[in-house]
Amino acid sequence: MAKPKLLCVYCSSSDRLDPKYAAAAAELGSELVARGWGLIYGGGRTGLMGAVARAVKSRGGHVVGVIPEFMKVRELAYDEADELVTVITMRERKLLMETRADAFVTLPGGWGTLEEIMEILTLRQLDLVKKPCVFFNQDGFYDPLLQLFETMLEEKFFKPSNMDLFRVARTIPEIFERIESSAGVKAEPKWFETR
């Protein structure tokens, strides 16, 4: 059987969230299986990470987790993953997820989540990553970040075309529409004319 395309999901590891976040993460897990995708993620069993992985498994989908050894020994890994890759550093983990993913989705999260998607957008603007990136803006969670992006644009910290290098979805089905609509969007050369 052909291997499924892998959707990389970045999301919170926190178990203390309003249940609406885990419900959306589980909906994403079910929906990605229904659309023929597999999951690649940080391999954790806590928070939204665990919620999305368990939903994928419960629908018979394929889960690839990439977890650093120091988290695995603290029993934070989702051991039911079809493939649980153990790495040493957080950087190796991000590289492996980036390389194997076919698209990236960011659910609500904290610093870890933000760092992961910001690295991908940084590579995206350099055209070193060419894959679709979608923010799931659940109940406006990412509005302040998107506002900051607008300020960066207005103040010329990046080009207008940067705003086309990611998409925003407000519902789970929209995530998949945005992935399709942004496939093939190319980054403009990053560097401005020097004067």
CA 62 from chain centre, in angstroms, equals 16
Scanning the structure block, which residue is given the tokens 């665990």? 50
Which region among 15-23, 44-52, 55-63, 137-145 touches ligand AMP (by CB under 6 A)?
Answer: 44-52
Distances (CA, A) of 185 to 73, 106, 161, 166: 40, 18, 10, 9
Nearer to ligand AMP, 93 or 187 (CB): 93
- DSSP-derived 3-state class of residue 35: coil
Pick out residues in 68-87 that bind ligand AMP (CB under 6 A): 71, 76
173 near ligand AMP, rule: CB under 6 A: no
Nearer to ligand AMP, 141 or 158 (CB): 141
Indicate which single residue of 29, 116, 136, 175 sits in contact with ligand AMP (rule: CB under 6 A).
Answer: 116
Tokens of 50: 């665990």
Binding site for ligand AMP (CB under 6 A): 10-14, 42, 44, 46, 49, 71, 76, 109-113, 116
